[in-house]
Amino acid sequence: MLRLKCVKAEGGREKRRREVYPAPDVPWCPILSLARSTSKPLITTTWTFLTPNVTPSHAHSPTYPSLLQVAVRVRPLTNEERQRGCYRILEVQDDNMLTLMNQATDRNDHLRQKREKDKHFLYDRLHGEDSTQKEVYEDTTKPLVQDVLAGFTATVFAYGPTGAGKTYTMVGTPEQPGIMVQALNDLFQCLNDPSKISKTKISMSYLEIYNENIRDLLQPSGTLDLREDAKTGVIQVAGLSEREILTTKEVMRLLTKGNKERTCEPTAANKTSSRSHALLQVNVRKSAIKGVGEEVKVGRLFMVDLAGSERAKQTQNKGKRLQEGAHINRSLLALGNCINALAEGQAKFVNFRDSKLTRLLKEALSGNCRTVMVAHVSPSHHHREETRNTLVYAERAKKISKKIRPTVLDITSHVTHYKQMIKELQEEVERLKDKITDNKQDCHSGLSQQNTEKLHAIKNELLEKFREQMFLRNKLIDIDSNILALSMELERQNLVVSEWEAERTRMERCRTEHPKGPHGEEIIDMDTDKEKDEDSEDDEPEEVTQAWEDLLYLQKEKQRYSEMRETVQQEMEEVKKCSQSIEETLPNTITNDEQKEIISLLCKVHELEIQKVEMQSEALIKEYELQRRELVIMRYDRQRSLCDQIITRQRQMLDEMHQHMPPELLELYELYQMEAQYATADRDGKYDAHNLLRCHSVLSLRGSTERLPPINGREPEKLFDRPARRHSLGDEGRTESVLSLRSPTSSAGSGWNSLPPLAQYRPSLVSAHGRHSALHYPSDLPPSRGSRPSSDSSSTSMPTIALPTSPNLYTSSAKSEGVPHHLPPISATR
Ligand SMILES: Nc1ncnc2c1ncn2[C@@H]1O[C@H](COP(=O)(O)OP(=O)(O)OP(=O)(O)O)[C@@H](O)[C@H]1O
């Protein structure tokens, strides 16, 4: 302990004497750092220097009395002040005493001098106008850096009126770095000392209080709130970013960044006036092995650059600047009040809550913290009042005393500590024992681990195969629906062609029987069959020609899809086989029941998916079946109407020839008529006992007469109302009476053209599969006529396209081939 004492004043100047003796409450320890020359010792102030090995535990650490250290720095007169003729009112006597001279600059003005005496102020350290940044740092902050490394909390803050040089001291310039930069540099240098076997982490945060709002200078966003721990009373800034720093370069970068963010505006008093209080916090966490334990010291260094107190008149601030100044002054007033209260020993009643600044500096002023205040003053007579106030405050602050102790999270070698260690070791032994036992089981678990991996592999493989199967199945459904659609279209076009063929045969017969036209015009006699054929082809309506072309194209497409189907089917069989073989090997590869269950569930899910797809496919096929049935019914209707015509014609002939109807023929006519009625009623869903009875009664009435009404004019037909039927394959909402096709008058004569044209079917076919290109007609189709049968080969000949989907349709055509066309056998068509 070194105590330096001012003992006597001689001739207006105090004489100082140095006394060294150990402090009563601190064990003797060597002086490690003394940041002042011994030739100019401190006066009236007691400095306590702690050695690094004095690191008592937090709970049992002794406290040390500490007074708030006050240093004063007088800045040089600025060029402007010199130009304005400002004179100095401050005189630095030595390192500690400062004299504020009276108004009279003229030393010979004795009258004035008597009236107003010079005022002397004593401080812990005084820095005159010619002091360097390094000197200021070494006298004020360097000792704090050592304390921080020893686990103390320390604060250095710059106080003073605006333009007095606070920012210059704290931040400095790139050429003349201030306290902040030098302190951090020093910290890093101490840590880089290889003799110190310790692990240290340094982090920093930087904030400003602007207009009573706290802002993060390293990560600027919104304003931050202060939180006070109800138990410990520690004040923290919620959401403040903390950056760990590893190099001095990084420190410089962060500091520069933070200072750029700081609110700084020119005023009349200072061109670079800081409009906010800036607080840089450096945390040092130092851990060192100590015996069997580890000692962690947590030191904190706060470096505060306060905004300067200002008088509105002097700064000539208006508006926003004036408002800023008011906030600055209010917070500084609160700080001054705290300093006053603390200096008077009323620490219990100090109101720190008046401003955010005092709340943040609470610990620095009254808590467990070494604090250095660097008061700044201007030597100019212009700032006499502010200078005097500052010096008075600084003097008062000097009286603030407190007790401090380091923050040491101590893990020292204590009996309880050893007990704890033994307990932990025992636990570790138990844990290791358990591990050994587990290791034996690990062989099993290793196997199960292997099993799990195998299971994953199998699962993935199976899933892959299932996916492939699904893809191929969907492809098959797609192909099937295309084939179905093509079949439908083929039938439809067949119908168009066969209608026309029938019509043409009828016309030819008419021509042969009646060489004159209906209006007596000459029918041109054809010389050869070829000529006839060519002529008949010329008469062929465009729709029929189109239908022939469509038939060829559709047949080709159908063939193509059938081949594609075969390939896909084969692929699918292969994939199926593959997944089946995986499933079969499962019992051998997987022994775990749970895993087996997972795989079987997976397979089940896949099966269900397949079933779902198959059902969808069936639904699609059923829909097509229904549509196909419509076409078949149309064909039957047309066939029956032809039969009706034939029978009617035969009956007319018999009538004309006055021939008596043989009874068996009469019976057949009746039967035919009745059957036709039943069939129609059955198909249209009108078949019931009541209608049947009526039908019978009508027919029996008719049967009693010798002469029968013509078949095609039969009345029982009217017994059953047949509503118009909707073509399921036609355009949306288009209805067409199928009855019209059945009617004897329309069926043969105009039946073919009563069908909707091909174009009307095409959109539905295309849209059903979304494949517009599928039915695009290739431009290089072979000439259609080459493949079609000649018109005279058979009166009811059908196109030579094999359609397995409707064999009945082609039975009639096949059977009718080669049968003389003047007598089509009714029984054959039936
Ligand atoms: N010791 C010094 N040596 C040389 N120039 C100095 C010194 N102190 C201050 N100055 C200069 O005086 C001017 C005002 O200083 P500074 O901005 O640091 O004042 P301040 O107290 O921070 O003011 P404010 O409270 O308005 O922010 C600056 O131009 C600065 O460079």
Query: Could you tell me the distance, in angstroms and rounded to a whole number, from the CA of residue 169 to the centre of ligand 1?
Result: 8
Could you tell me the two tokens for 759?
């174009």
Assign 70 to helix, strand or coil. Answer: strand
Q: Taking 90 as the threshold, does the pLDDT of residue 137 lie above it?
A: yes
Nearest to 136 by CA among 123, 147, 148: 123
Using a pLDDT cut of 70, give the percent of the chain over it: 59
**How much is the average pLDDT of 185-194?**
75
Q: Which has the minimum average pLDDT: 91-105, 196-210, 420-434?
A: 420-434
Query: Which comes out higher in pLDDT, residue 207 or 481?
Result: 207
Q: How far is the CA of 164 from the centre of ligand 1 (A)?
A: 5
pLDDT at 530 over 80: no
pLDDT value, residue 134: 94
Intra-chain end-to-end CA distance of the chain, in Å: 134
* Residue bearing the bigger pLDDT, 357 or 66: 357
Nearest to 365 by CA among 378, 355, 376: 355
Q: Which protein residue's CA is at the shortest distance from atom 16 of ligand 1?
A: 165
pLDDT of residue 51: 28
Query: Is 164 annotated to bind ligand?
Result: yes
Name the most confidently modeled range: 182-196, 570-584, 733-747: 570-584
Selection from 514, 498, 467 nearest residue 609 by Cα? 467
How do 223-228 and 213-216 pair as beta strands? antiparallel
Question: Which of 284-288, 339-343, 500-504, 721-725 comes out lowest in average pLDDT?
Answer: 721-725
Binding residue per annotation — 505? no
Range with the poorest average pLDDT among 179-188, 226-235, 401-410, 702-711: 702-711
Give the mutation target among 272, 316, 332, 357 for probing the ligand 1 site: most ligand atoms within 8 A of CB. 272
For 475: left if phi > 0, alpha if psi spans -120 to 50, otherwise beta; the answer is: alpha
Q: Ligand 1: does its nearest atom lie under 6 Å from the Cβ of 167?
A: yes
> What number is the average pLDDT over the span 39-62?
36
For the Cβ of 308 lying below 6 angstroms from any atom of ligand 1, the answer is yes
Among candidates 300, 305, 371, which has minimal Cα distance to 332? 305
Please say if the pLDDT value at position 462 is more than 60: yes
- The pLDDT-based confidence of 279 (bands split at 50, 70, 90) is very high
Q: If you measure from the C-alpha of residue 475 to the centroid of ligand 1, how many angstroms do you get, rounded to a whole number?
A: 84
Q: Output the CA 331–ligand 1 centroid distance in Å.
A: 21
What spacing in Å lies between the alpha carbon of 376 and ligand 1's midpoint? 9
Residue 38 pLDDT > 60: no
- 560 has pLDDT over 70: yes
Averaged pLDDT for residues 600-610: 74
CB 485 within 8 A of CB 624: yes
* Cα–Cα dist 216/131, whole Å: 32
- Of all residues in the chain, the percent with pLDDT exceeding 90 is 10
178: annotated binding-site residue? no
Q: Establish whether this prediction's ipTM goes over 0.90.
A: yes
Higher-confidence residue: 659 or 44? 659
pLDDT of residue 319: 67
How much is the average pLDDT of 212-240? 85
Task: Answer whether 720 contacts ligand 1 (Cβ < 6 A).
Answer: no
The per-residue pLDDT for 207 is 93
Q: Yes or no: say if 96 and 398 are a contact pair by the CB < 8 Å rule.
A: no
The pLDDT of residue 708 is 47
Flag whether pLDDT at 131 surpasses 80.
Answer: yes
Q: Is 733 annotated as a binding residue?
A: no
Mean pLDDT of the chain: 68
Please give the structure tokens belonging to residue 776.
């695009």
What's the confidence (pLDDT) of residue 402? 63
Say whether pLDDT at 698 is over 50: no
Which ligand 1 atom sits nearest the alpha carbon of residue 267? Answer: 26
Query: Are 642 and 829 contacting, i.e. CB atoms less than 8 angstroms apart?
Result: yes
Predicted confidence at residue 152, as pLDDT, reads 83
Pairwise pLDDT comparison (606 vs 96), residue with the higher score: 96
Q: How many H helices and E strands in the chain?
A: 23, 22
- pLDDT band per the 50, 70, 90 thresholds, residue 786: very low
In terms of pTM, does the model score above 0.80? no
pLDDT class of 33 with cuts at 50, 70, 90: very low
Does 591 count as an annotated binding residue? no
Give the contacts of 259 (CB within 8 A, at least 6 positions apart).
Answer: 171, 217, 278
Q: Which of 69-73, 78-82, 349-353, 677-681 has the lowest mean pLDDT?
A: 677-681
Q: Which atom of ligand 1 is nearest to the CA of 270?
A: 26
Per-residue model confidence as pLDDT tens digits over 739-763: 222 233 333 333 333 333 333 333 3
pLDDT confidence of 529, banded at 50, 70, 90? very low
Residue 345 assigned ligand-binding role? no
Residue 416 has pLDDT above 70, yes or no: no
Asked if the model's pLDDT at residue 701 lies above 60, the reply is no
Burial level of 121, CB count in 10 A (0-12/13-18/19+)? buried
Strands of 248-398 (E only): list them. 264-265, 273-274, 277-290, 293-305, 370-377
